[in-house]
Structure 1
Amino acid sequence: MAIQAKNSHDVAWVLEQIERIAQFGQGRSGITRLAFSKADHEARNYIIELMQAEDLTVHIDAVGNIIGRFEPEGIQADAPAVITGSHLDTVPSGGKYDGALGVVCGLAAVSRLKERSGLEYPLEVVVFAAEESSRFNFATIGSKAMAGLANVSAWMRAQDQDGISFSSELAAIGRPIENVGSAARPKNSIRGFLELHIEQGRVLEQEKISIGIVDKIAAPTRLKITVVGTAGHSGAVPIEERQDALVSASMIVLAVRDIATEYTYQSAVATVTILKTYPGAINVIPGQVEMWVDIRGTDHESVIGMIQEIKDAISTIADDNDTPVSIEVLFSDKPVKLDETIIETVESACQQLKIPSLRLDSLAGHDTMNMAHIAPAGLIFIPCKQGVSHNGNEYAAPDDIAAGLDVLTEALYQLAKCK
């Protein structure tokens, strides 16, 4: 039997809060709420107010993660916490459900559980900072720091397209980047972590199932490729004498696509996402191109094989066109297998609530993959319309959100109650 929510924390409340959060950064084609931007700070402050209204103890750690904590009466002060949450920052022109769904449903679930007896462990709702890589080119910064995986030296060099550094944005909220390491949580401080998220794919929609239980997460590898040619007059330099960096870059784009196609059956993908040409004038042959590649897969060996084939193809293109190419690995995370006990707990919750579910893998990265390094971790998916995400047309149906909230609530209860 489905858990009955308080009127203030049913699916209508969740939808209302998602709509309110969507106003922070709302634009004509979607929501742009980049990490630590004005819109992100507005959304973060709004969530803090919601947490405080629920009498949660609110703490902001050394990397900017927001943590709202509820401690049932009578529990030991050092009892490990059961944690849920997600992120509020978006990609440019993103959607209203990616991240925000997990934050709001997490808060609603904890609010429901405050009314239930038998809790033996604290509950926490976390808003992870800088989950998206859109601003500083590093993904899941907040959860990496919490999991003790911070790359402080690299993050110190991180800047956005306007030259604003990640370290300066942290300093602006009173969090010196040198102290980021102190955001790491001891392994014995977390009993379990569970995130609710839209699928960002079409498996659940096609199967007409409301709940997906993630088995493995494909972590991203990001490359920055720089192609160097020779700039020249677009009318005066003969075609056969050119060292056109954009021509070579175009060949690399196609090579990445073709290689990725060969790995599709191994659930691996690769995408050229950004190209920048220099000097960028309509009458000048491009003398340099910078391009970024996103590579993902649930099998680490397949990812390694794909990267090597891409590097080999780039080397051949560079030699054939006399355009030297450099490759920088921005970061490379390994795919993560999620905790079987957490998976079975979510499956049990679905059975108890009579909500059909299936297991599936996630080709998108999530904060859960980092939390899995320090605690048993799980990830619940609900369908998103046509698999569209990172897009202003992103949509999740109220019935699916309600199912996700019910399952999240029951699974958190099973993890936090007396055994």
Structure 2
Amino acid sequence: MAIQANHSHTIEWVLAQLEHIAQFGQDKSGVTRLAFSKADHQARQYIIELMQDIGLVVHVDAIGNIIGRYEPEGIQAHVPAVVTGSHLDTVPAGGKYDGVLGVICGLAAVKRLKERSDIKHPLEVVVFSAEESSRFNFATMGSKAMAGLANISSWKRIVDQEGISFASELATLGLQIEHIGSAARANNSIKGFVELHIEQGRILEQGRVNIGIVDKVSSPTRLKITVTGMAGHSGGAPIEERQDALVSAAMIVLAVRNIAADYDYQGSVATVTILKTFPGAINVIPGQVEMWVDIRGTEHGSIIEILQEIKDAISTIADDNDTPVAIEVLASEKPMILDYTINKTIEDVCQKLKLTSLRLDSRSGHDAMNMAHIAPAGLIFIPCKEGVSHNGSEYVASEAIAAGLAVLTETIYQLAK
């Protein structure tokens, strides 16, 4: 590929950085770098040093977002910035490209653009804190805070599975949860935001398309469901007399799957992602089950319909099995349409670079959907092998990275010149 040949040293730098950052939290299953964990702190510190090495001024905001900024000479302070970036945190046993690719390619793009003399806007690369919901059950927390969408009252109460609070983890960075509101950026401080990310699906790979241009980003509706039965001896209690919370939970799992299947053609899905039984002994009938459900979609109407059908199914299961069920809505967000003008710019850049492109929707959430609340935002996808992501076997070909970097760089340039 001509792009890779022309900038082979830059691609080698990107690949080397991806491999290096993967060491923070890597084991035989993949990369586990949960938000604000030791591995995340190591990766964050490394990125700060990397930003400083390439001449960026680094600032950490009130939720821990890392912002590396380049200001061309003569730029006045009020000129809005062109921003790119993504995240460093991962799911448990995740991959080495999800999120990190957008950060490293953002830095590589700014390195290239610093050499151009006609940049008229500051350039920023942002590492958003706590993008994954794996630790605290809230997603894209850093970009929500930057967009003024932080739910501080709820965030004050959240803890991880070890009972460690989000507030105390912020404190390890010298930050106070009460001050998160100060991370919000003014609407006129950003000219445009562009994020590069792996697709996490197979549309581009199957179509042999270089670049995906995202029109709409799906949003999560998340539930915590608690099923209450009666614990008892697994050998002594007759089947017909049991109030087995796990049996009801299993029925709910199947109901969620079957309901979601009816809406898949609309781009909506629903998944039971975590299930915990109590008291959790091999010889005790489960007396309580906690389960978490993740509903996603690009059509808000279908999300509402799925949610109502799940509630109806749960009500029936609870009555039939005499196992009361409580439903707590943890998050309910609307899908976000991204900026038409930026997407047209990305499309024009692809044509200029002789790369194929395709308009598509994203079934997964990204920081771009929050940034779109305060600035025009775009999201660029590149293909990943077999669509596998959130998995240790996640892989992206160097040619795809080269194409994504070239499109990201040129798109930022068009916005900043």
Q: Is the 8 A contact 1:274 1:293 kept in 2?
A: yes
CA distance in 2, matches of 1:333, 1:146: 17
Matched residue of 1:157: which SS?
Answer: coil
Paired residue for 1:179?
Answer: 179
Deviation of the 1:130 alpha carbon? 0.3
CA distance in 2, matches of 1:187, 1:397: 37
CA distance in 2, matches of 1:159, 1:338: 32
Unaligned runs of 5+ in 1: none
**In the alignment, residue 389 of structure 2 is paired with which amino acid?**
S
CA distance in 2, matches of 1:62, 1:248: 43
Deviation of the 1:117 alpha carbon? 1.8
Matched residue of 2:74: which SS?
Answer: coil
Paired residue for 2:329?
Answer: 329
**In the alignment, residue 49 of structure 1 is paired with which amino acid?**
E
Q: What is the CA deviation profile of residues 312-361 of structure 1, one whole-angstrom value per residue up to 9, with x for unaligned ones?
A: 00000000000000000011111000000010010111111111100111
**In the alignment, residue 406 of structure 1 is paired with which amino acid?**
A
Deviation of the 1:3 alpha carbon? 9.4
Q: Is the 8 A contact 2:109 2:409 kept in 1?
A: yes
Deviation of the 1:265 alpha carbon? 1.0
Paired residue for 1:53?
Answer: 53
Deviation of the 1:77 alpha carbon? 1.1
Paired residue for 1:366?
Answer: 366
CA distance in 2, matches of 1:5, 1:33: 33
CA distance in 1, matches of 2:184, 2:312: 38
**In the alignment, residue 395 of structure 1 is paired with which amino acid?**
Y
Structure 2 counterparts to residues 15-414 of structure 1, below 5 A: 15-414=15-414
Q: What is the CA deviation profile of residues 97-147 of structure 1, one whole-angstrom value per residue up to 9, with x for unaligned ones?
A: 000000000000011000012111100000000000000111000000000
Q: Is the 8 A contact 1:190 1:375 kept in 2?
A: yes
**In the alignment, residue 207 of structure 1 is paired with which amino acid?**
G
Matched residue of 2:379: which SS?
Answer: strand
Q: Is the 8 A contact 1:5 1:112 kept in 2?
A: no
Q: Is the 8 A contact 1:6 1:112 kept in 2?
A: no
Matched residue of 1:46: which SS?
Answer: helix
CA distance in 2, matches of 1:78, 1:59: 17
CA distance in 2, matches of 1:41, 1:172: 10
Deviation of the 1:49 alpha carbon? 0.7
Q: What is the CA deviation profile of residues 347-392 of structure 1, one whole-angstrom value per residue up to 9, with x for unaligned ones?
A: 1111111111001110000000000000000000000000100000
CA distance in 1, matches of 2:6, 2:275: 48
CA distance in 1, matches of 2:258, 2:5: 51
**In the alignment, residue 134 of structure 2 is paired with which amino acid?**
S
Matched residue of 2:407: which SS?
Answer: helix
CA distance in 2, matches of 1:3, 1:82: 25
CA distance in 1, matches of 2:33, 2:297: 27
Q: Is the 8 A contact 1:147 1:184 kept in 2?
A: yes
Deviation of the 1:5 alpha carbon? 6.5
CA distance in 1, matches of 2:6, 2:18: 17
Deviation of the 1:156 alpha carbon? 0.6
Matched residue of 1:126: which SS?
Answer: strand
Q: Is the 8 A contact 1:102 1:195 kept in 2?
A: yes
TM-score by length of 1: 0.98
Deviation of the 1:290 alpha carbon? 0.1
CA distance in 1, matches of 2:328, 2:42: 35
Deviation of the 1:276 alpha carbon? 0.2
TM-score by length of 2: 0.98
Q: How many pairs does the alignment contain?
A: 416
Q: What is the CA deviation profile of residues 251-281 of structure 1, one whole-angstrom value per residue up to 9, with x for unaligned ones?
A: 0000000000000111100000010000000
Deviation of the 1:4 alpha carbon? 8.2
**In the alignment, residue 210 of structure 1 is paired with which amino acid?**
N
CA distance in 1, matches of 2:405, 2:7: 13
Q: Is the 8 A contact 2:4 2:399 kept in 1?
A: no
Q: Is the 8 A contact 1:384 1:395 kept in 2?
A: yes
CA distance in 2, matches of 1:273, 1:155: 21
Deviation of the 1:210 alpha carbon? 1.4
Moved beyond 4 Å, runs of 4+: 1-8
CA distance in 2, matches of 1:186, 1:412: 20
Deviation of the 1:2 alpha carbon? 5.0
**In the alignment, residue 319 of structure 2 is paired with which amino acid?**
D
**In the alignment, residue 117 of structure 1 is paired with which amino acid?**
S
Deviation of the 1:74 alpha carbon? 1.1
